[in-house]
Amino acid sequence: MPSRGDGSLHSGAYKKGHNRGSATQKIHRNDISVNQYPQHSVAWFETGRYWRIEEDVYLRLSMDMSEVSVQELPRPARYLSGVSASASTPSAHISPSPSASSSQDKALRIENIKNVFAQPYPRISRGTNSITCSRFREKYDFVESNNTVDEDIVVVHGRVQSARLAGSKLMFFDILHEGCKLQVLCNKRLLEAQGIDGPKFRQFYHALRRGDSFSITGKPHRTGRGELSLLATELPKLLSPCLNTIPIWNNENEDTLYDRHVELLASPSAADVLRARSTIIQTIRQFFLDQSFMEVNTPILASAAGGAVARPFKTHATEFPEETLSLRIAPELWLKRLIVSGFDKVFEIGPSFRNEGIDKTHNPEFTTCEFYQAFADLDTLMSMTEELFRKISRQIANLNETVGNSLTPTTPQCVGPTFIMNHPECLSPLSKSFTHSENGQKVSARAELFIENREVVNLYEEENSPTEQRKKFQRQLDTKDSENATGSMDEKYLEVLEWGLPPTGGWGCGIERLTMLFTGAKRIDDVMSFGNLRSVTKASK
């Protein structure tokens, strides 16, 4: 069966060249095929869009519940702003601007849905027999081929991924929920008692679209081919239709013109990267909680950014407009204040901001994890880093099994992990210093973990002498770029040190870079829910 992207998920035969120009060919959507355009077997088959199929030849499709209108045009009249197709990019697509016809198509679909379902957007009712797809698979894994658990009636919810007919009395469609796929089997013979005859059965099938949300009541069943399925005992209930066409993702590495929510909906691997990010954060959090760390939240908005040398974002509060405020660059100084306060083990996972450039590995808004532990030295920090990375690796391996191993293997990404140590003192103003035994130079008690030529973790023993810290702050102010200056000497932090900061180990890691490492993602956009700042601003306009 060829790839499909028309929203109806069905296939058939379409004859090229029969409707060149103004003529429109109307065919049943089960009689459409993309075989005559193999190089465009995914791209052109999207309802309500223009697709470039040859040089200066475009295909226009529009659809109702049972027919597809196909029209070949020399050139579409309207274009999506900023997008063009050329001979050098034969697979590029051109989408029409929003028009009355597209709105009419959506309105027509809603009307046709009402002919099959009482309401297109009903309230959901979750009973005691509701079960997730993943739990369904775990609970009924024991069911043998060609067997049904007649005593169990369960309700499963999910979004339609694909649909297919097997003769006139059997229908299969796959639903997806929480990353887990489940096959649903509809047998017309079992539904006849509810008044579902042949025409109504086919009408229901033709109403299915990829992305529709359904509630299915049925019995656990395993088919003769060994596929664990839900055998519907009632006609599945529509909960929410998808009125737009979900594209078929044929090149995961290709830049996309779609909004991020469409990309995540259409691309399983893109969604799995975000699931991996969540798994990494949960693993980090549990790692520290298991070692009696306290999770905290420190200020994001304050009079000084602090914690690193970078250009901050600045703003004002209506309560005291004369005061210039900054978004934090790092939570470090606040966390060390808590160590001084008597909390010996603290960590925070949260956002930081730097008003600097955007590239494949940098974004002005990013997420970090930092922890501080009293009476910990550099060796302790490095050992904890190794242990944490082992735990993350195991959890990502478990996630790969759950989502079907769609993530890039992590082993090639972890070649040659190396701790870089003994940085010059001037490069680490917040770390403790000592004289190197071999060369007699002042170096910092600091280490950076590099993997694949990229810094992943930064860790050091904290400077706890207020006198030495003042000197280092002054050298930093004397040498740094004035454009990146964040203010004068941080006198408040120096006052905090006078209350006594015990020997403390500090550790920081960027969540985005860590996720890129463990998923094989090449761009920071791919590991952020809605991409980098440029993508976010575009999506919010």
Q: Indicate the SS3 state at residue 325.
A: strand
Residue range(s) occupied by CATH 2.40.50.140 in the chain: 133-240
Mean pLDDT calculated for residue range 35-58? 43
pLDDT, tens only, 293-306: 999 999 999 988 77
The DSSP letter of residue 247 is P
Is the pLDDT at 100 greater than 80? The verdict is no
At the second CATH level, the architecture of 266-300+328-539 is 2-Layer Sandwich (3.30)
- pLDDT higher at 426 or 54: 426
Classify the C-alpha dihedral 207-212-215-220 as positive or negative: positive
DSSP code per residue over 89-152 = -TT-EE-PPP-HHHHHHHHHHHHHHHHHSS-SSPPP---TTB--HHHHHHHTTTPPTTEE-TT-
Which phi and psi angles does 98 have, rounded to 5°?
-55, 130
CA distance 212 to 241: 4
The helix/strand count (H/E) of the chain reads as 12, 24
Is the pLDDT at 507 greater than 50? The verdict is yes
Is the pLDDT at 195 greater than 70? The verdict is yes
Q: How far is CA 364 from the centre of its chain?
A: 18
The overall average pLDDT reported for the chain is 80
294-295 and 345-353 strand pairing: parallel
Residue range(s) occupied by CATH 3.30.930.10 in the chain: 266-300+328-539
In single-letter form, the type of residue at position 290 comes to: D
* Tokens of residue 212, six digits: 């529709």
Taking a C-beta distance cutoff of 8 angstroms, is the pair 265, 272 a contact? Answer: no
User: What residues does 442 pair with on adjacent strands?
Assistant: 435
Is the pLDDT at 392 greater than 70? The verdict is yes
CA distance 403 to 419: 33
pLDDT value of position 426:
86
pLDDT value of position 445:
94
Q: Indicate the SS3 state at residue 369.
A: strand
The DSSP letter of residue 533 is H
pLDDT value of position 212:
95
* Contacts of 445 by beta carbon, 8 Å cutoff, 6+ apart: 377, 378, 431, 432, 433, 434, 460, 461
pLDDT value of position 126:
77
- pLDDT higher at 512 or 309: 512
Per-residue pLDDT band for 250 (boundaries 50, 70, 90) equals low
The DSSP letter of residue 320 is S
Is the pLDDT at 10 greater than 50? The verdict is no
CA distance 255 to 469: 47
Is the pLDDT at 138 greater than 90? The verdict is yes
pLDDT, tens only, 302-357: 988 776 778 899 999 999 999 999 999 999 999 999 999 999 999 999 999 999 99
CA distance 312 to 297: 20
Q: Label residue 24 left, alpha or beta by phi (over 0 means left) and psi (-120 to 50 means alpha).
A: beta
Q: Indicate the SS3 state at residue 228.
A: strand
R_g of the chain, CA atoms, integer Å: 29
CA distance 261 to 285: 27
Per-residue pLDDT band for 403 (boundaries 50, 70, 90) equals low
Closest C-alpha among 180, 176, 164, 149 to residue 12: 164
- Helix, strand, coil percentages (3-state) for the chain, rounded to 5, are 30, 25, 45
CA distance 534 to 358: 8
Is the pLDDT at 251 greater than 70? The verdict is no
CATH 3.20.20.70 fits 133-240, yes or no: no
